[in-house]
Structure 1
């Protein structure tokens, strides 16, 4: 079992920087047979007004693709929640 450690502010900043350097979101997972009927599975980046390059994965499971696509939206939310909770804890001590 891996030992857990607190997430430092520096680690949180590095995670945020990696996220900000990634292609602009949202990222949406498109699966052949679920979302379209021809072609391959891919992740669409950007929105309809500012579309980025599609991301195609080799060797990824459907669950992997869904996780990667959702991470673009999930990570900023998690960072904000961690910062909110850290402030709440700091103000209560």
Structure 2
């Protein structure tokens, strides 16, 4: 498995995140976060609220991961770039 990320791969990740519905996304699990209804991912907040995402056959852990990825991926891409910039300054 390849471990290093090219700038092209980072750009692809960033593009996929930018193309997704606006965040933040939040995983709502029946019995954990509310009573009654089905599990779903809330997209956006307030005036930026989008349609909920409902999945079939996803585990709670899968749903939590997918919802968190909306926020996590852009932050991780930014952190990789920040760290690379620091490395480039010291070289």
In structure 2, the residue matched to 1:63 is 61
Matched residue, 1:53:
51
Indicate the SS of the match to 1:7.
Answer: coil
Partner SS state of residue 44, structure 2: strand
Q: Distance in 1 between matches of 2:82 and 2:71?
A: 17
Match of 2:27 in 1: 29
Structure 1, gaps ≥5 residues long? none
**TM-score, normalised via structure 1 length:** 0.93
Give the number of aligned pairs.
91
Q: Distance in 2 between matches of 1:44 and 1:30?
A: 7
User: In the TM superposition, what whole-angstrom CA distance separates every residue of 1:3-42 from its partner, at most 9, and x where no partner exists?
Assistant: x332111110011000000010000000001111111000
Please report the RMSD computed on the Cα atoms of aligned residues, expressed in angstroms: 0.9
State which of 7, 13, 26 in structure 2 corresponds to 1:9: 7
Q: Which has the larger share of strand?
A: 1
The Cα shift of 1:87 comes to: 0.4
Cα distance in 2 for residues equivalent to 1:22 and 1:31: 21
Q: Hey, what's the Cα distance between the residues in 2 that align with 1:57 and 1:81?
A: 30
Per the TM alignment, residue 92 of structure 1 is displaced from its structure 2 partner at its CA by 0.9
